[in-house]
Amino acid sequence: MPLPKAELHLHIEGTLEPELAFELAARNGVTLPYASVDELRAAQAFEDLQSFLDLYYACMAVLRTERDFEDLADAYLRRAAAQGVRHAEIFFDPQAHLARGVEMGTVVEGLGRALAASEENHGVSTRLIMCFLRDESAGSAMETLELARPYLDRITGIGLDSAEVGHPPVKFREVYEAAAALGLRRVAHAGEEGPASYVTEALDVLGVERVDHGLRCMEDPALVERLVRERIPLTLCPLSNVRLRAVDVLEDHPLPAMMEAGLLCTVNSDDPAYFGGYAGDNFDAVRDRLGLDEDRLRELARNSFLASFLEDDEERRAR
Ligand code: HPA
Ligand code: ZN
């Protein structure tokens, strides 16, 4: 039996397996720039974050209808459940769909149908986190938040993703303030390719409760000390870091040192259809190649629930 765990860093568009991409392309009359599943898989040799993002945005062109988003999320939840995931906090990228003429309602209603049935069908509880594309303008992020207002009963929080370097957290100060005023939880990608200072800025300027990746915090000992003291969770994605070359090989990953330093680390899959594995595969990889023992693996699983937004909303309102 795989260890029960929560997945806190998962882009639903990054769960689009090549087989499903071709099925949806045929269903919707969309042409992918690859002739076959094998050709698409061969294109998954990435140099860096941007080379991945180019393929990620190209493939999501096949997602057009509510049913497409429902099928995508349902396929992910089935796979995740088989690897021990009991709770999933799922990112989605509405701007990438709006830009193709796919409306917010299509995305949220479609994902929402799969999520609403997930506890019964897969034994996985869920939350939805809306991400803003940091290489788009702050104004576009604010418009996206406005478009999401009718659906906020289904959206727990906001995040920040896409090309990091040159797009510091401060660019999104106002939209994070507006989201906080609406009662939304706040997370952001920081310190994946960007510097440790982006992690500090995400905490100080955006008020994030959790940092996605955060790997490069290790370059700033004072920041590490602060993250430990404030118990700020980091959602690490080891297989993603290897495939996007944040680390050369998994054996070089700083996860053991980060745990040793007392950081609240979690292990997640990021974009499993592109990076070679789901949550359980990431757990297996850090066991086999980083030598983490059973106690450390249990600590990671426990951290994933501690770091989640599972606590009930009543309790939060009472605080
Ligand atoms: N980093 C930044 N943006 C992303 C990622 C990622 O790993 N996956 C999907 N969007
Ligand atoms: Zn990510």
Give the model's pLDDT for residue 311: 78
- Whether residue 87 is annotated as binding a ligand: the answer is no
**Residue 319 reports pLDDT greater than 90:** no
Beta bridge partners of 267: 236
d(CA 91, CA 43): 24
Is residue 81 situated within a structural domain? Answer: yes
Q: For 214, list phi and psi in degrees, rounded to 5.
A: 75, 10
| CA 192 to ligand 1: nearest atom | 1
d(CA 260, CA 265): 10
Q: What is the ipTM of this complex?
A: 0.96
Residue 314 lies in a domain: no
The verdict on residue 312 lying in a domain is: no
The count of structural domains within the chain is 1
pLDDT tens-digit readout, 30-68 = 999 999 999 999 999 999 999 999 999 999 999 999 999
Annotated active-site positions, please? 192
Cα–Cα distance for residue pair 42/313, rounded to 1 Å? 44
Range of the domain at 70: 5-307
The pLDDT value recorded for residue 313 is 52
What does the pLDDT read at residue 1? 84
pLDDT of residue 209: 98
pLDDT at 191 over 90: yes
Cα separation, 129 vs 92, whole angstroms: 7
Distances (CA, A) of 99 to 61, 96, 165: 10, 6, 22
Closest ligand 1 atom to residue 56 Cα is 9
Structure tokens at 37: 């599943």
Report whether 11 belongs to an annotated binding site. yes
We report the CATH number of the domain holding residue 110 as 3.20.20.140
In a domain? residue 313: no
- Say if residues 252 and 291 touch (Cβ distance below 8 Å): no
**Residues within 5 Å of ion ligand 2 by Cβ?**
270
Average pLDDT in the chain: 97
